[in-house]
């Protein structure tokens, strides 16, 4: 089939960027969306033009690298899929497709369809973990976890950190991303210990990174390739309320070398 | 507390709590309004004003609640706008609604209307000639009933009220369920129920509020 | 040269304890003076960087992805093995060790594998403590399943996303150290060179993939955790970015590359649908528990599968391996599939596929049970192929999946270059000639969490920290060379895209050096690869410039290395005149078609040393001594 593409081209963060028109010819329905772009790029390269830069890696829907807004929907029209798992059979001959990068203040454009999502990593770094040392932990079966809790934690932990939720949110909020991490760890006894500190520091990191706030539009859930549930946002809110009055201490993941008993 | 006010997530909690208080107020208000059908509106109004001190305490509390809601609403919206520079060339919404995306506008409309409404029926500065404060009923009480009838016979007044109530319903159809989510008062099972319930409450309020001006305007309720 | 794996002496079960007790330690307050570079942030890299950072070392971590969480470890589906014996079904450290050695067709080092089995239990404990949501039973205990034909249930799993959950666990630990300031993270940064000064690894040269800047980092030791090289086949189950460059550049700087010909081909992947194919998707092997594999008996039978009557179908796995049937090990079923397709009996586009039929299972236990067991896999299959596998058989085909070979390391995970440690899939050490299911995750995390923290201390304790900086002439030379190389790539300005060459190489590797191999096919590959390489350096076109984000340039660098490395695989495969594990040479088979291993002549690790461009690399051997187990024929008949 033949398609008309309007693709966002932007040289770098300073460039203003614009939509450019490309014709994609001879596209087969068995191709994935990214393979369709590969075909377009191959032609561009051979014509001496610069190919469209886009992020991708595993191409099997789990690494969360691919990130495009297709016809106004992050990861495209199919729902519960990543761009790399979106196949051209979802489109028809003669379609016009708009391809844009994820847009949010917290995700500056690096080039074309590639954006910088390291803000999400920094939110995790702010406290999205269990502060466990390597070694010296109890046997895995010492602390029992109810099956329901383990399963719920797993549902939340499925988040691939692609940032589609942020791009879809009219407020550019990362609440679903936070909710997944906070809920996953708060569901487990190992993670409960630090639950208050975690939710507080992750939420302030989110604001600091320039993400917006949740006003419950639920666009995030609608585009989430893993279908992370909205109830986790409610859980995040509960965890946040539970953390009222918690006095934040300085994170003490300090290195042992800094704590010298000798002197 | 400080972190609650400074932190965006904390402000949202304030939004939800103040919103829910105001919804409660609105529900009580519409129940109060319904005394009109039993012919006891004036008596109800008179009783409300029985203890001026309590009335003023209540008014101040509501004013505070209202101001917090408006202030944080505006601040959060500004935050959200700046988190979202530029829009997509094509935008397809999958889940959000017209109501959810326009909370700030419906909110501001309601805010404007509230001024009008207070000046109109509470402080009776607008159209004082037909105000209840000036005219008393047969039992010597301020004639609220007649004030309503005289006002809603005018198309322009009725239209203002109907538009405001439309804005209110839009605001509530998203706001009610949203406040439950923000306060974490739901789970996977109850979320769809609360979402639907919130809309139903909003539409019930719509009919509850719209009934009086419409009935007066078309002449079902008359003096 | 005869290589020494430096395994400790003594009884197998005490070797690791013995080594640990002998190793030197570093004073806690001195640790921060040592800088360690960790390249790659997959299971091995993230767990190593986190553990070393926590111990107090000064760690610089690098990955080419935009976030450490995106390393390809994330795609592992099945699970992770451990010798916990929770189900009380007779498992134990020795049995896990034995199964892994046997699964690897007796081409791995006893001591390493035993240690892996020992630390396997600690890994599970560690992961649970980190919050990895492993599957649990109703009483709240961890659940296990049997995986990849193992006779015990020793596999821990988190839905079909075990790799994802384990990586996110390691990523969490890493994030914590980044927050604490003990690890500095460099994303979108690709290692282009290893810097060796006076025989010791002292740092790396990288390219910033956003600005194009070539930078160097000096350190006291370098850990390569850069994953496997199976993308040399172009089409594989690995991520698009997975590459051999980091390991290959180390090889060019003198590190030995061991057993490169041991490449695992996974039997159950979704077949290629056309020339545009960019990657292959793995379907969990568990499908073979209920699906029956078949092809038409006649060649070129184009009827739809449902029209082919029972007697005209060849259930070749059941026919050839009645004992294991459809559950025959990976290498055997992959080979059998390729054979029937090469005979012209394959199905689907290009005849590259075999049926995996669930009709019998659906009739027997009902569609709902099948849906319950494999629903997500059937959905995934439908998403990619547009076919409903409840109504018609799936088509599957083998695909390159994992590289057992890698940089040679001793028992301490140190390569022959001092100070260069290699962890995870990037090293060769634990899987021999074939890896068992659910073992890769175990090895990556074992190396990172529980081995490197000890062995690297032993190395560093003998050295003064910070004796060189990145301004040392060797570093400068390295940067200059890389810049020249990039300039050279741009100067070619030919007519073919990088992908054209990559596809060509992959095709040659698959057709002539894949599965099975013969002397003739390998020689053909050795003839073709240099031709492609020569044309690459004359006719490749890379648009744009080197001083910006340039994905074609990145790919060109990686493909250039694959074009050299493919030859090394072929050489290794050609020299290994036996069939073992994933390496099947048609000349070396039993009369019944089984692999004929040659323990007399090839019971060694073949480690290759780079001797210069266009020079024949030199082979070094590390003999494999089996003190504790009897070498047996790996038969699944």
Mutant choice from A187, A218, A222 vs B, greatest count of B C-beta within 10 A: A218
Which CATH number applies to C473-596: 1.20.58.100, 2.30.30.100, 1.10.10.10, 1.10.760.10? Answer: 1.20.58.100
Residue closest to C454 by CA, chosen among A257, A134, A132, A261: A134
Name the neighbours of A, counting chains with at least 3 Cβ pairs within 8 A: B, C
Distances (CA, A) of C81 to C120, C169, C188, C441, C581: 7, 16, 32, 8, 20
Partner-chain contact C54 A131, CB within 8 Å? no
Partner-chain contact C274 A255, CB within 8 Å? no
C-alpha span between C179 and A130 (Å, rounded): 13
Q: Is residue A261 part of a domain?
A: no
Q: Is residue A262 part of a domain?
A: no
- Name the residue ranges covered by the structural domains of chain C: 267-400, 473-596
- Does A234 score more than 70 pLDDT? yes
Name which of A103, A200, A217 is nearest B96 (Cβ-Cβ): A217
In chain B, positions 164-193, which contact chain A (CB-CB < 8 Å)?
174, 177-178, 181-188, 191
In a shared domain, residues A222 and A239 = yes
Where is C561: in which H helix or E strand?
helix C551-575
Other CB atoms within a 10 A radius of the CB of residue C550 amount to 24
Distances (CA, A) of C361 to C287, C356, C367, C369, C495: 11, 11, 8, 9, 52
Partner-chain contact B185 A100, CB within 8 Å? no
Q: Is residue A200 part of a domain?
A: yes
C516: preceding bond cis by omega (within 30 degrees): yes
In a shared domain, residues A122 and A243 = yes
Confidence bin at C592 (pLDDT 50/70/90): confident
Mutant choice from C33, C82, C131, C543 vs A, greatest count of A C-beta within 10 A: C131
Other CB atoms within a 10 A radius of the CB of residue C544 amount to 19
Which residue in chain C has the smallest CA separation from A47? C495
Other CB atoms within a 10 A radius of the CB of residue B72 amount to 19
Partner-chain contact A253 C176, CB within 8 Å? yes
Q: Is residue A188 part of a domain?
A: yes
Could you tell me which residue, C637 or A186, shows the higher pLDDT? A186
Which residue in chain C has the smallest CA separation from A138? C125
In a shared domain, residues A35 and A127 = no
- Does C172 score more than 50 pLDDT? yes
Confidence bin at C413 (pLDDT 50/70/90): very high
Beta-bridge partners for C52: none
Residue C344 DSSP code: I
Residue C450 DSSP code: I
How are beta strands C257-258 and C58-62 bridged, if at all?
A: unpaired
Q: How many residues does chain B have?
A: 223
Chain A hits for B183, Cβ within 8 Å? 237, 241
Mean pLDDT to the nearest integer, A68-74: 97
Mean pLDDT, chain C, rounded, equals 95
The answer to whether C266 and C402 have CB atoms below 8 angstroms apart is yes
C-alpha span between C161 and C136 (Å, rounded): 15
Chains A, C: CB pairs < 8 Å: 248
pLDDT above 90: percentage of residues in chain C: 89
Which residue in chain A has the smallest CA separation from B92? A72
In a shared domain, residues A89 and A159 = no
Residue closest to C69 by CA, chosen among A123, A103, A169: A123
pLDDT of residue A250: 53
> Which residues touch C465 (CB under 8 Å, ≥6 apart)?
C30, C33, C34, C35, C220
In a shared domain, residues A139 and A246 = yes
C-alpha span between B124 and B118 (Å, rounded): 7
What does the block give as tokens for C520? 């003739």
How are beta strands A114-115 and A18-24 bridged, if at all?
A: unpaired
The answer to whether C48 and C40 have CB atoms below 8 angstroms apart is no
Chain A hits for C239, Cβ within 8 Å? 57-59, 63
pLDDT of residue A257: 42
Partner-chain contact A73 B181, CB within 8 Å? no
Phi, psi (degrees; rounded to nearest 5) at C72 = -70, -10
Partner-chain contact A219 B95, CB within 8 Å? yes
Residue closest to C172 by CA, chosen among A145, A252, A185, A233: A185
> Which residues touch B122 (CB under 8 Å, ≥6 apart)?
none
> Which residues touch C511 (CB under 8 Å, ≥6 apart)?
C521
CATH of the domain at A128: 1.10.1060.10
* Chains A and C: 3 or more CB pairs within 8 Å of each other: yes
Could you tell me which residue, C69 or C327, shows the higher pLDDT? C69
A108 touches chain C (CB under 8 A): no
Which residue in chain A has the smallest CA separation from B76? A213
| Average pLDDT by stretches of 10, chain B with 223 residues | 80 96 97 94 93 96 97 96 90 94 97 96 90 87 92 95 97 97 94 95 96 94 80
Chain C hits for A137, Cβ within 8 Å? 125-126, 128-129
Half-sphere exposure (CA, 13 Å, Cβ side) for C525? 30
pLDDT of residue A1: 93
Mutant choice from A46, A51, A109, A253 vs C, greatest count of C C-beta within 10 A: A253
* Chains A and B: 3 or more CB pairs within 8 Å of each other: yes
C-alpha span between C278 and C235 (Å, rounded): 6
> Which residues touch A120 (CB under 8 Å, ≥6 apart)?
A161, A163, A166, A174, A177, C67
Chains A, B: CB pairs < 8 Å: 133
B18 touches chain A (CB under 8 A): no
Distances (CA, A) of C346 to A191, C46, C294, C308: 51, 42, 9, 14
pLDDT per residue over C118-138, tens digit each? Answer: 999 999 999 999 999 999 999
Mutant choice from A159, A255, A261 vs C, greatest count of C C-beta within 10 A: A255
Distance from CA of A195 to the nearest CA of B (A): 16
Distance from CA of C237 to the nearest CA of A (A): 8
pLDDT of residue A248: 62
Q: Is residue A244 part of a domain?
A: yes
Rounded to a whole number of angstroms, the distance between the first and last alpha carbons of chain B is: 52
Other CB atoms within a 10 A radius of the CB of residue C627 amount to 10
Name which of A71, A168, A172 is nearest B83 (Cβ-Cβ): A172
Chain C hits for A59, Cβ within 8 Å? 239-240, 278-279, 281
C-alpha span between C171 and C71 (Å, rounded): 10
Chain B hits for A123, Cβ within 8 Å? none
Residue closest to A139 by CA, chosen among C162, C145, C141: C141
A198 touches chain C (CB under 8 A): no
- Does C406 score more than 90 pLDDT? yes
Chain C hits for A82, Cβ within 8 Å? none
pLDDT of residue C580: 93
What does the block give as tokens for B136? 């008393």
Mean pLDDT to the nearest integer, C577-584: 95
pLDDT per residue over C358-395, tens digit each? Answer: 999 999 999 999 998 888 889 889 989 999 999 999 99
Instruction: Report, in this order, helix, strand and coil percent for chain C, each rounded to 5.
Output: 45, 15, 40
Distance from CA of A119 to the nearest CA of C (A): 10
pLDDT of residue A254: 44
Name which of C141, C161, C549 is nearest A53 (Cβ-Cβ): C549
pLDDT of residue C324: 81
Residue closest to C427 by CA, chosen among C225, C562, C236: C225
pLDDT of residue B76: 96
C-alpha span between B81 and A117 (Å, rounded): 19
- Does C221 score more than 90 pLDDT? yes
pLDDT of residue B106: 97
The answer to whether C406 and C227 have CB atoms below 8 angstroms apart is no
pLDDT of residue A260: 39
In chain B, positions 87-126, which contact chain A (CB-CB < 8 Å)?
87-97, 100-101, 103
pLDDT of residue A59: 96
Among residues A80, A111, A142, which one ends one of the domains?
A111
Region of C79 on the Ramachandran plot (φ > 0 left; ψ -120 to 50 alpha; else beta): left
What does the block give as tokens for B74? 């505006």
How many structural domains compose chain A? 2
Q: What ipTM was assigned to the predicted interfaces of this complex? A: 0.95
Comparing A32-46, A158-172, B41-55, C146-160, the range with the smallest average pLDDT is C146-160
pLDDT of residue A259: 41
Phi, psi (degrees; rounded to nearest 5) at C588 = -115, 80
pLDDT per residue over C319-347, tens digit each? Answer: 988 888 898 878 888 999 999 999 999 99
Name which of B80, B86, B92 is nearest A213 (Cβ-Cβ): B80
pLDDT of residue A100: 97
Confidence bin at C160 (pLDDT 50/70/90): confident
Q: Which residues constitute the domain of residue A58?
A: 3-111
Q: Taking the CA atoms of chain B, what radius of gyration do you get in angstroms?
A: 20
* Chains B and C: 3 or more CB pairs within 8 Å of each other: no
Distance from CA of A189 to the nearest CA of C (A): 9
Mean pLDDT to the nearest integer, A191-219: 95
C-alpha span between C297 and C290 (Å, rounded): 22
Name which of C176, C276, C281 is nearest A28 (Cβ-Cβ): C276
pLDDT per residue over A112-168, tens digit each? Answer: 999 999 999 999 999 999 999 999 999 999 999 999 999 999 999 999 999 999 999
pLDDT of residue A258: 43
Which residue in chain A has the smallest CA separation from C76? A62
Partner-chain contact A173 B86, CB within 8 Å? no
Partner-chain contact A35 C276, CB within 8 Å? yes
C-alpha span between C296 and C393 (Å, rounded): 13
Confidence bin at A263 (pLDDT 50/70/90): very low
C-alpha span between A71 and C88 (Å, rounded): 54
Mean pLDDT to the nearest integer, C570-592: 94
The answer to whether C108 and C101 have CB atoms below 8 angstroms apart is yes
CATH number for the domain running over C267-400: 3.90.700.10
pLDDT above 90: percentage of residues in chain A: 91
B34 touches chain A (CB under 8 A): no
C-alpha span between C264 and C569 (Å, rounded): 13
Chain B hits for A73, Cβ within 8 Å? 92, 94
The answer to whether B178 and B16 have CB atoms below 8 angstroms apart is yes
pLDDT of residue C377: 87
In chain A, positions 4-33, which contact chain C (CB-CB < 8 Å)?
11-12, 28-32
Rounded to a whole number of angstroms, the distance between the first and last alpha carbons of chain C is: 38
In a shared domain, residues A105 and A131 = no
CATH of the domain at A102: 3.10.20.30
Q: Is residue A260 part of a domain?
A: no
pLDDT of residue C14: 97
pLDDT of residue A247: 73
C-alpha span between A128 and C175 (Å, rounded): 8
Among residues A65, A88, A111, which one ends one of the domains?
A111
C-alpha span between B204 and C347 (Å, rounded): 62
Chain A hits for B9, Cβ within 8 Å? 203, 207, 213, 237, 240
């Amino acid at each position: 089939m033949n398609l008309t593409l309007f693709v966002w081209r932007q040289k770098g963060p300073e460039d203003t960027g614009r939509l450019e028109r490309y014709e994609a010819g001879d596209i087969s329905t068995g191709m994935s969306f990214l393979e369709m772009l590969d075909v377009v790029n191959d032609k561009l390269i051979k014509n001496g033009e610069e190919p469209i830069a886009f992020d991708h890696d595993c191409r099997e829907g789990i690494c969360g690298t691919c990130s495009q807004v297709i016809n106004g929907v992050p990861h495209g029209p199919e729902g519960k899929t990543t761009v790399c798992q979106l196949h051209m059979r979802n489109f028809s001959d003669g379609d016009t497709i708009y391809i844009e990068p994820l847009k949010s203040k917290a995700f500056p454009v690096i080039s074309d369809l590639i954006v910088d999502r390291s803000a999400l990593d920094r939110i995790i770094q702010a406290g999205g973990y269990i502060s466990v040392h390597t070694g010296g932990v109890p046997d895995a079966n010492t602390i029992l976890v109810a099956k329901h809790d383990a399963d719920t934690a797993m549902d939340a932990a499925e988040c691939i950190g692609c940032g589609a939720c942020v791009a879809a949110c009219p407020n550019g909020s990362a609440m679903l991303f936070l909710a997944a991490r906070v809920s996953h760890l708060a569901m487990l006894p190992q993670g409960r210990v630090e639950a208050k500190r975690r939710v507080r520091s992750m939420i302030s990191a989110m604001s600091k990174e320039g993400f917006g706030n949740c006003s419950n539009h639920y666009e995030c859930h609608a585009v989430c390739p893993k279908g992370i549930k909205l109830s986790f946002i409610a859980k995040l809110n509960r965890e946040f309320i539970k953390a009222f009055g918690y006095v934040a201490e300085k994170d003490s993941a300090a290195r042992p070398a800094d704590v010298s008993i000798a002197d | 507390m400080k972190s609650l006010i400074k932190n965006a997530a904390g402000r949202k909690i304030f939004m939800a709590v103040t919103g829910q208080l105001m919804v409660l107020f609105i529900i009580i208000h519409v129940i109060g309004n319904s005394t009109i059908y039993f012919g006891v509106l004036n008596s109800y109004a008179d009783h409300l004003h029985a203890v001026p001190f309590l009335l003023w305490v209540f008014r101040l509390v509501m004013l505070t609640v209202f101001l917090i809601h408006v202030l944080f609403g505006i601040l959060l919206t500004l935050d959200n706008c700046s988190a979202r520079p530029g829009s997509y060339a094509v935008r397809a919404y999958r889940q959000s609604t017209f109501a959810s995306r326009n909370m700030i506008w419906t909110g501001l409309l309601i805010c404007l209307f509230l001024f009008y409404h207070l000046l109109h029926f509470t402080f009776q500065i607008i159209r004082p000639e037909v105000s209840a404060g000036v005219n008393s009923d047969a039992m010597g009480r301020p004639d609220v009933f007649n004030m309503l009838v005289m006002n809603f016979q005018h198309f322009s007044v009725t239209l203002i009220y109907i538009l405001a109530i439309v804005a209110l319903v839009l605001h509530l159809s998203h706001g009610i369920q949203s406040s439950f989510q923000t306060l974490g008062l739901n789970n996977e099972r109850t979320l769809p129920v609360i979402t639907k319930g919130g809309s139903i409450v909003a539409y019930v309020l719509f009919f509850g509020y719209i009934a009086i001006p419409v009935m007066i305007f078309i002449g079902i309720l008359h003096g | 040269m005869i290589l020494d794996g430096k395994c400790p002496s003594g009884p197998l079960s005490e070797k690791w304890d013995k080594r640990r007790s002998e190793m030197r330690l570093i004073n806690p307050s001195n640790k921060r003076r040592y800088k360690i570079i960790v390249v790659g942030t997959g299971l091995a890299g993230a767990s190593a960087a986190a553990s070393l950072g926590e111990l107090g070392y000064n760690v610089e971590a690098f990955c080419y992805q935009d976030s450490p969480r995106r390393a390809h470890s994330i795609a592992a589906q099945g699970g992770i093995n451990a010798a916990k014996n929770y189900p009380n079904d007779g498992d134990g450290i020795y049995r896990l060790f034995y199964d892994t050695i046997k699964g690897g067709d007796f081409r791995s080092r006893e001591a390493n594998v035993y240690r892996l089995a020992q630390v396997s239990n600690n890994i599970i404990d560690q992961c649970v403590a980190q919050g990895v949501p492993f599957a649990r039973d109703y009483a709240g205990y961890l659940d296990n399943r049997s995986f990849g034909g193992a006779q015990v249930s020793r596999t821990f799993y988190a839905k079909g996303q075990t790799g994802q959950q384990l990586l996110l666990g390691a990523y969490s630990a890493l994030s914590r150290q980044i927050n604490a300031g003990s690890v500095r993270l460099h994303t979108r940064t690709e290692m282009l060179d290893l810097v060796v000064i006076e025989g010791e690894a002292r740092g790396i040269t990288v390219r910033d993939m956003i600005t194009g800047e070539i930078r160097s980092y000096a350190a006291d030791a370098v850990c390569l955790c850069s994953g496997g090289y199976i993308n040399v086949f172009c089409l594989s189950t690995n991520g698009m970015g997975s590459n051999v460059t980091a390991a290959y550049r180390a090889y060019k700087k003198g590190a030995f590359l061991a057993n490169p010909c041991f490449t695992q081909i996974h039997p159950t992947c979704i077949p290629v649908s056309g020339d545009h194919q960019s990657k292959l998707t793995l379907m969990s092997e568990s499908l073979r528990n209920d699906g029956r594999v078949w092809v038409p008996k006649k060649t070129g039978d184009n009827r739809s599968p449902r029209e082919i009557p029972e007697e005209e179908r060849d259930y070749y796995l059941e026919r050839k391996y009645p004992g294991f049937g459809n559950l025959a090990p990976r290498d055997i079923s992959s080979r059998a599939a390729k054979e029937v397709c090469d005979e012209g009996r394959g199905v689907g586009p290009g005849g590259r596929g075999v049926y995996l039929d669930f009709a019998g299972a659906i009739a027997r236990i009902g569609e709902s049970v099948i849906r319950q067991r494999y629903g997500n896999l059937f959905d995934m299959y439908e998403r990619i192929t547009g076919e409903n596998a409840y109504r018609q058989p799936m088509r599957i085909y083998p695909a390159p999946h994992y590289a057992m070979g890698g940089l040679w390391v001793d028992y301490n995970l140190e390569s022959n270059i001092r100070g260069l440690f290699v962890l995870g899939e990037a090293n060769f050490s634990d899987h021999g000639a074939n890896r068992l299911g659910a073992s890769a995750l175990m090895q990556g995390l074992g190396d990172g969490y529980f081995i490197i923290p000890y062995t690297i201390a032993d190395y560093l304790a003998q050295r003064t920290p910070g004796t060189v900086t990145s301004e040392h002439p060797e570093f400068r030379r390295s940067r200059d060379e890389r810049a020249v190389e990039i300039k050279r790539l741009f100067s070619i300005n030919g007519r073919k895209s990088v992908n054209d060459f990559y596809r060509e190489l992959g095709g040659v590797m698959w057709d002539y050096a894949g599965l099975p191999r013969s002397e003739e096919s390998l020689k053909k590959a050795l003839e073709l690869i240099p031709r492609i390489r020569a044309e690459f350096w004359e006719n490749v076109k890379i648009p744009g410039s080197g001083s910006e984000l340039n994905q074609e340039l990145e790919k060109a660098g990686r493909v250039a290395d694959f074009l050299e490395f493919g030859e090394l695989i072929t050489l290794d495969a050609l020299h290994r005149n036996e069939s073992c594990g994933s390496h099947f040479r048609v000349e070396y088979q039993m009369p019944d078609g089984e692999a004929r291993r040659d323990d007399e002549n090839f019971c060694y690790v073949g480690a290759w040393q780079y001797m210069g461009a266009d020079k024949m690399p030199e082979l070094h051997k590390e003999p494999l001594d089996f003190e504790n187990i009897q070498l047996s024929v790996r038969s699944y008949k």
